[in-house]
Amino acid sequence: MPYSPASWLDRRRFLQSVPESLGAVALTWLLHRDRLLASDEPAPYEPAIDPARPLAARSAPEAARADQVLMIFCSGGLSHIDTFDWKPALVKQDGRPMPNAEAAVTFQGENGAIARPLYRFRPRGQCGKMTSDLLPELGSLVDDFCFLHSMTTETNTHGPGENCMSTGFVRDGFPSVGAWVTYALGSENEEMPAFVAIPDPRGVPQASVNNWGAGFLPTVFQGTPFSSSRPIAHLEPARGMSSRDIARVRRLIQQLNESHLQRFPDDVDLAARIASYDLAARMQRSVPEAADWRSEPPYVLREYGVDVRQPKYKAGYARNCLLARRLLERGVRFVQLFNGAYAMGEGVGNWDGHRKLKPQYDIHGAILDQPTAALLRDLKRRGMLERTLVVFCTEFGRMPMFQKNATGRDHNPLGFTCFLMGAGVKAPFSYGATDELGYRAVEQVLSIHDFHATILHLLGLDHTRLTFYHNGIRRRLTNVHGSVIREILAPA
């Protein structure tokens, strides 16, 4: 009998077709799982990881320009319009009301008038890039920088903002960019952690361990936090034990572990735990040597400012910068260096300049500028920038107007500046732009997903392919978004 529209709604025919339909759905799912369906999407890439050596070096699946990453994170929301994003219109309109001020996205309430940059801008380097007197030493290096002036983010709150910059997601529970990189590539030095986070001497950032956490990746890929003043916890051997006693204990533990692993050869979690303990034992020898900045020549110590007494915390941050270079020299894959901490209060220990921006930035700038510039010069002098990518970032920018009844600026997620330096990027180069007041990105607008996609690309990793299967979803650092910023890539 021929089908008619009425017969399509016939209950008997509907029930007869259900098994066939469900079978088709099941077959489609199986074909998709086994990657047998035709698709324009690239095949996922999940690195082959030996549970007994999870941090062993792995080759990038694509051509890489960089082998290591140094991420310098200015916590608190560094003001782009007082540092690297010169806006002459702010000077001309200083003291005037902000156009459409009622529509401006604000965090702490009503805003006041437009405020000129609080530091003088000057042309610097051979390229004549305008940067401010807040960071003159960093400004002197502009010929080596690739500025991204059109960064945007998804939130105007510090904790979620740090999450977004470090993990690609506003919510907690996602792997950090450093964890993704070490998951994909391992480490060149199995005597050291693959990923090290160096908190500011003043404390940790607001999102704390989220910035270097492994999320749903295996925990072996999380960052190891330590600094020049705070060594790795529980790394020192027990007091009263001689080196001979320690060696004997290690041999016994190794024999017991090998025996246990032979009994359970398929237990990958057991193999991973043993590998973790083995790394800790090796780190007892390697980490103290790497952290011993006192072995550096006196001229290097002076260049970084490790003995400077004022402002407070500058010497501690300088020693952290020196530690970062020493870790990179020893093959640590990803180093995350923080400037600014949360616990000291609003703007006191970080770049969150709401109420009195200039007095606070005078201190923060002096802490950041000389040591960071010394670190970047040192990397260049040693030829390390040939294979090291430097990432300078913050969670968001700040508003072009003061807050009402204050001399500080509110949070601005709609436009801010980051920069890259080193392996694979053009320099001197500036990409994107905010509007004439620095309020909103308007040219070549960038998301943090674009930022992360570009970092992975320079490491030989396709952000659309690097995945980890979790809770029924193939997760990736860039979620389902992001494009490589190809205009900033240097010719191969």
SS3 473: strand
Task: Inform me whether the pLDDT recorded for 421 exceeds 80.
Answer: yes
**pLDDT band, residue 354 (cuts 50/70/90):** very high
pTM value is 0.89
Taking phi over 0 as left and psi of -120 to 50 as alpha, with beta for the rest, 202 belongs to alpha
Q: Residue 195, CB half-sphere, CA atoms under 13 Å: how many?
A: 25
- Are 195 and 333 in contact by the 8 Å Cβ rule? The answer is yes
Task: Inform me whether the pLDDT recorded for 267 exceeds 90.
Answer: no
CA–CA separation, 490 and 426 (whole Å): 5
Angstrom CA distances, 384 to 330, 334, 389, 402, stand at 11, 14, 9, 41
**pLDDT band, residue 346 (cuts 50/70/90):** confident
What pLDDT score does 1 carry?
45
CA–CA separation, 426 and 19 (whole Å): 59
Domains observed in the chain: 1-39 (no CATH), 68-231+305-488 (3.40.720.10)
What pLDDT score does 233 carry?
73
What pLDDT score does 232 carry?
76
- Are 402 and 369 in contact by the 8 Å Cβ rule? The answer is no
Task: Inform me whether the pLDDT recorded for 142 exceeds 80.
Answer: yes
Closest CA to 398 of 347, 353, 349, 343: 353
CB atoms under 10 Å from CB of 27, counted, come to 10
- Are 168 and 155 in contact by the 8 Å Cβ rule? The answer is no
Angstrom CA distances, 258 to 271, 272, 274, 278, stand at 9, 13, 9, 12
Q: Return the higher-pLDDT residue of 326 and 238.
A: 326
Task: Inform me whether the pLDDT recorded for 415 exceeds 80.
Answer: yes
Task: Inform me whether the pLDDT recorded for 109 exceeds 90.
Answer: no
Angstrom CA distances, 78 to 4, 315, 346, 390, 465, stand at 68, 21, 13, 17, 32
Which range, 129-138, 262-271, 284-293, has the best average confidence (pLDDT)? 129-138
Mean pLDDT of 116-133: 98
CA–CA separation, 25 and 6 (whole Å): 25
Mean pLDDT of 354-377: 97
**What is the end-to-end Cα distance of the chain in Å, rounded?**
68
Q: Return the higher-pLDDT residue of 66 and 245.
A: 66
Task: Inform me whether the pLDDT recorded for 366 exceeds 50.
Answer: yes
Mean pLDDT of 285-306: 92
**pLDDT band, residue 258 (cuts 50/70/90):** confident
CB atoms under 10 Å from CB of 161, counted, come to 25
What pLDDT score does 438 carry?
97
State the chain's mean pLDDT as an integer. 90
Predicted confidence (pLDDT) per residue in 152-171, tens digit = 999 999 999 999 999 999 99
Q: Of the ranges 2-16, 53-67, 452-466, which one carries the lowest mean pLDDT score?
A: 2-16
